[in-house]
Amino acid sequence: MSTAPHFEIDPAAFWSDPYPDLARMRQEAPIAYVPQLGATVFTKRDDIFTCEKNIEVFSSDQPGGLMSVLMGQNMMRKDGDAHMQERKQYYPAVSVRTVRDVWKG
């Protein structure tokens, strides 16, 4: 269970338009446990950037998560070496340089 402050949402309203809740969370509790989602939610970019690298605590591996259920285990739900192996396969085709030099034209 998360020790972050709890933040209650109306799931139907959240799925319809999450932005009002997310804006309120950024103001009141930028890192909050949302019981209706069963997840701790980070709403500020700098917090996400810092914490996503701490895979012992914040793993991307979510076998029961919606993305994994719908699409199977993919790069966005892998950590460390498994993530990098998959990323290296496609990254040359979508790197900033390739987009600038090839795709943009």
Rounded to 5°, angle at Cα 104 from 101 and 105: 80
30-50 pLDDT, tens digit each? 999 999 998 889 999 999 889
Please tell me the distance from the alpha carbon of residue 43 to that of residue 9, in angstroms, as a whole number. Answer: 14
Residue 1 confidence class, pLDDT cut points 50, 70, 90: low
51-105 pLDDT, tens digit each? 888 888 888 888 888 878 888 888 888 888 988 898 999 889 999 999 999 988 8
Q: What is the pTM of this model?
A: 0.62
Residue 19: per-residue pLDDT: 95
